[in-house]
Amino acid sequence: MKNKMKIMGSEPVNMEKLDSNKMNMFFGQELSNHDNNYGANIYKITSDITREHADWIGEDRLHPEFMEFFKIMYAEPSRIRFDNIKDCSNCVRHVIGLIDLTLKLQDMRVSTGWSFPETYMHPSMQLDLGDLAIKIFDRKIVIQKQDEQLLKIK
């Protein structure tokens, strides 16, 4: 099963036939950081990491593009107290950390995997999580294409 990967209960996928660009993946199972079973070093972002990151980061150090992505999950971000993130619910802290950390790791060109990103979320909010994932990982594809263009120029 060297070049095959199982995706959410489906039949194994032949990895040789997939595009060779780096991918971000969701895992519905435990994944250790830097797990090489998938052919790449992947930084696993867990709910513990996201909440700790949110508590540490504070309002003044959020990624410049943070609010654009946060509005996908919270239509009225003005209701969130960013001046004291530690007092926010686990769900809010998780979403803040998930978005901010993902954006910062993307800027550093680090491949990421979200492990149980729906943790702490109401089922209706989990639908918005899918929209967030599409938009935030589309951003990474743009970054990769910009990197490829810079390499071609050199």
Query: Could you report the per-residue pLDDT of 33-58, keeping only the tens digit for each?
Result: 444 444 456 788 999 999 999 999 88
Rounded to whole angstroms, the Cα distance separating 139 from 154 reads 23
Please give the structure tokens belonging to residue 135: 């938009």
Please give the structure tokens belonging to residue 19: 């595009």
pLDDT at residue number 144? 65
3-class secondary structure, 5: strand
- 8 A C-beta contact, residue 49 and residue 93: no
Mean pLDDT rounded to a whole number for the chain: 76
Q: What single-letter amino acid sits at 148? A: E
pLDDT at residue number 69? 95
Residue 107 has pLDDT above 80, yes or no: yes
3-class secondary structure, 141: helix
Q: Quick one: DSSP state of residue 118? A: T
3-class secondary structure, 32: coil
Confidence of residue 111 (pLDDT cuts 50, 70, 90): confident
35: number of Cβ within 10 Å: 14
When pLDDT is averaged across residues 103-107 and rounded to a whole number, the result is 92
Confidence of residue 22 (pLDDT cuts 50, 70, 90): very low
